[in-house]
Amino acid sequence: MNDDTRNDRSQNSSSPLWIVDAFASAPFTGNPAAVCLLEQTASTEWMQQIGAEMNLSETAFIRPLEANRFELRWFTPEAEVDLCGHATLAAAHILWETGRLALDEEAVFDTKSGILKAVKESDNIRLDFPAEPVAPVVLPEELIEALGFIPRYTGRNRLDYLVEADSEDTVRQLKPDMAILRNLDARGLIVTSRSSSGYDFVSRCFYPAVGVDEDPVTGSAHCALAPYWAKRLRKSELKAYQASRRGGHMTVRPEDERVLLLGQAVTVLTGKLTI
């Protein structure tokens, strides 16, 4: 253990920690995220160790900077990521729920993807994220093998591949080859289709390369899905459902180079670090 990690343990050993179900209106649905509030700066190594210990798709670390502004970083069990929606929603939820921000205050986060903002909107939290539109690409042969079907469309942005399937049933029944996906030259894979169950579109998201075989509900994926389906369906507001085993829903509003993501969150555990 290096000196930085020892210092992190002593400085942040009493940091409060929460587990929050994000993009969920009831416990045990949506996507669980751990949220850790730091009193001091912490090393990447130490935060990665905590992320591995939490063993959730994301652990968010928030550190106060000034007024309503916070540093925010996200870690899977295996890697730090550049953008995460559900853990940002969870972090904002905790700041308001614990009174660290007033309900009418905006939460402002400094992240690897720039400034992200969150506000309360009725019963929802509204996240202001960068749009991540995809551009058409030729699907690698190994990805076709992993999927087991020929997509209607294949695109890619700086983060992920996105493929459109022929139906919601295809999306829901998909069992991709994780060993192949683990070696993709991208963070992961988004599979989507128009919905036949009352939403505008459905999706599933797979990220074995960063230690998450299937993510329950993925806000950052909707930064690609929102502009894609808004153009296809000619709608400015869309209802989205991520058809994982836990399942989760959100409303998305593409706005120029931004995407607004609206969802709810529920706290299921409160504690503190003891290391």
pLDDT digits (tens, 9 = 90+) for 240-255: 999 999 999 999 999 9
Predicted confidence (pLDDT) at residue 1 exceeds the cutoff of 60: no
pLDDT at 139 (0 to 100): 86
pLDDT at 75 over 60: yes
- pLDDT for 275: 79
The catalytic residues are: 58
pLDDT tens-digit profile of 109-150?
A: 999 999 999 999 999 999 999 999 999 999 889 999 999 999
Question: Can you list the domains of the chain with their CATH numbers?
Answer: 3-130+262-272 (3.10.310.10), 135-255 (3.10.310.10)
Tens of pLDDT, residues 153-190: 999 999 999 999 999 999 999 999 999 999 989 999 99
Tell me the pLDDT of the chain averaged across its residues: 94
Q: Name the pLDDT band for 10 (thresholds 50, 70, 90).
A: low
The predicted model gives 248-263 an average pLDDT of 96
Look at residue 46 in the predicted model and tell me its pLDDT. Answer: 96
Structure confidence at residue 9 (pLDDT)? 57
**Cβ 78 vs Cβ 210: under 8 Å:** yes
* Average pLDDT score over residue span 210-235: 96
